[in-house]
Structure 1
Amino acid sequence: MQNSFDQKKLSILAEIESPQDDLSPKGSIDVLCLPIIKLINSHPGMVTTSSCSGRISVFLEGTKSHNNEVKVGGKGQGGRWLFASHDQDNVVGWFDRLIHGQLDEKIALSESKVDDISIFDGMTRYVLYKYEPFILHVKCRDSEVASKLYNTAMSCGFRESGIGSNNLVAIRINIKLDVPIGYLDESDDSLGLFVTEQYISLLDKMTLTKFSDNAKKMNQLYNKIESDIINQNIDTLSNGKDHIETFEERRQRKMKEGLERQRKLKELNQ
C-alpha cells in the first residue's frame, strides 16, 4: 500500500503529464517554471502543487461586503483583469492594445486628466498595474524535507517563503510592482487614466527589470536546489550510506512485498 504522500504525488504527476488544461486561469504550467518543477519532482520527498513564473497585469478592483459594510479591494463583485501576461515580450505595447480595443475583452480605457484628487475616496475602484514575481508551492513528505527546501529558498533571497500545514512549502520573493494608474467613473461606468503615457513607459522599463531580476533568482534557486538537495540525495545513494529510497524504488519494493505476502498466504492455505 502506498502512503498518502506517494498517492498524492502520483496523482499530481499524472495531471502534469496530461494534455488537458489544468484548473488554473491560464490552463497550463508556465514554460519558465517547467525546469524547476521537473527538478523538484525528481526528488522522492517533494512534489509541486502550483506555480507561476511571474506576470504583468492590469486589474480593476471590485467591491465586497463585510459585516454589512461595502469595501473596495481584491476581486470581489465587478473586479476583473483587463490585461494579463506571463511573457515579458508583451510588456511594451500593452497600453496601446488596451486603449485601442485590441484585446479580447475590448475594454475602453481612456486618457483623462484629473485636476481634483478630492473626487477619490475609500470607495474609489482603482485600475491597478501589477508585476507579480515567481511563486511555487511544494508538498513535502515530512518536516525534514520541508525545512531543507525552505532553508534553501531563504538562502537564495526568497524571504517571503514559509511552511504551511501538511509540510506545504510556499516559495516567494518580494520583486513586485503594485500601483494605481486609473479609476472607474461610477457616473457612466467608464475607465479613466490619471497617469501619462510617459509614466506608462517608465512602468514598462521597471517591469522589464523586474522580469530580468525574477529570472535570475529562479535560476539561482534551481542551482541551489540541485546542488544542496538533489545531488546530495544522489551522493547519499551512491555511497550506500543511510540509503534513501527514490520514489520508484519505494514503489517497486512495496509491490514486491505485497506479492511475497500473497505467496505466503497461498502456501498457508494449501
Structure 2
Amino acid sequence: MARQNPFDQKKASILAEIQSLQPDLSPKGDVDVLCYPIMELINSHNDMVTTSSCSGRLSVFIEGTKSHNGLQKSGGKGEGGRWLYVTHDVNEVRGWLDKINPDTFTFAQEDFTHLIGDSVSGKRLALYKYEPFILHVKCRDFAVASKLYNTAMSCGFRESGIGSNNLVAIRINIRLDIPIGFLDETTNKITCCVFPHYIKFIDELTVSKFEENKKKMQVFYDRVESNMFETAGVNTSLD
C-alpha cells in the first residue's frame, strides 16, 4: 500500500481532532460556531486544512508579571495573567459588567492623573479587548498558500501573511485594546479608572466591531468559494 502524503496525514489528524469531543487549548475550549461554515468550506478542499480559528471575541484581561533582565515587570499573560471576562457572542457584550463579582471590580472614587508617567509602568493593567476573526490554514504547497493569501488580501484581510510550512494566517485589523483600570495587588481588586458610561460607550463600539467582523467573514467565505475551488481541488468524498 502506498504511503500517505505527509500533508494528507496531517490533514487527517487535524480533522479527527476537530471532530472529537475533547476540549481544545483555547479559553473557550471548542470551535466557535461562526467559524464552522468557513472551516467546512476550506477543509473540503484537497489542498487546505484549518489548524486554528477564532470568530472574534470581547475579553477583559488582567496582565500578569514577567521577569525582564532580572526585574519583575507587568505586561502580557505572564505569571498570574487571567481573563476576567470572555465572550464570542455579540449578545453578551452589553451588560458584561453586571456579571462581574462586585467584590473584585470597583470604580475609582478619585482623580487618577497621578498615575500618568513612570508610575504606570509597574501596574498590572485591566485591558478591554476586542479581537476580530483569525484563521490559520495549512496548505499543501506555496502555490495554494499564495492563492489563499491573495484571496484574503483582496477582501480586506490586510494583516494576513504566509508563514513557514505554507501556513497562512488570515487576519484583519478591526480590534480594540483599551486599558480601563489596574489590579490593586494589596487587595487583589481591579480598580476601574473610567466611568460606567464610558464602559457602555466602548461596549457599543464592540457591538459594531462584531457586526463588521461578521460581514467580513461572509465576504471572505464568498471569495474563497469563488477563487479557490475548482473540480480538481474539491474533496468529493466529503458528503
TM-score, structure 2 as length reference: 0.92
User: 1:85, 1:179 → 2: CA distance?
Assistant: 17
Secondary structure of 1:133's partner?
Answer: strand
In proportion to residue count, which structure has more strand? 2
User: 1:190, 1:86 → 2: CA distance?
Assistant: 25
Q: Where do residues 114-263 of structure 1 align in structure 2 (5 Å cutoff)?
A: 114-119=110-115, 120-230=119-229, 233-234=230-231, 244=232, 247=235
Please list the CA deviations of residues 113-150 of structure 1 after superposition, one character each: whole Å capped at 9, or x if unmatched: 33142244210111110000000000000000000000
2:48 maps to 1:46: yes
Deviating above 4 A after TM superposition, structure 1's stretches of 4 or more consecutive aligned residues are 245-249
**Paired positions, count:** 232
Query: Percent identity, aligned pairs only?
Result: 59
Shift of 1:46: 0.1
| Structure 1 equivalent of residue 35 of structure 2 | 33
Q: CA RMSD in A?
A: 1.5
Q: Check the 8 A contact 1:135/1:171 in 2, yes or no.
A: yes
Q: Looking at CA atoms only, which structure, 1 or 2, has the larger radius of gyration?
A: 1
Q: More relative contact order in 1 or in 2 (CA 8 Å, sep 6+)?
A: 2
| Structure 1 equivalent of residue 63 of structure 2 | 61
Paired residue for 1:96, among 95, 98, 113? 98
Query: For the structure 1 residues 222 and 136, does the alpha-carbon distance in structure 2 shift closer, same or farther, using more than 3 Å as the test?
Result: same
Shift of 1:66: 2.0
Structure 2 unaligned segments of length 5 or more: list them. none
Shift of 1:19: 2.3
Shift of 1:20: 2.4
Structure 1 unaligned segments of length 5 or more: list them. 101-106, 235-243, 250-270
Query: For the structure 1 residues 116 and 33, does the alpha-carbon distance in structure 2 shift closer, same or farther, using more than 3 Å as the test?
Result: closer
| Structure 2 equivalent of residue 108 of structure 1 | 104
TM-score, structure 1 as length reference: 0.82
User: 1:226, 1:245 → 2: CA distance?
Assistant: 11
| Structure 2 equivalent of residue 265 of structure 1 | none
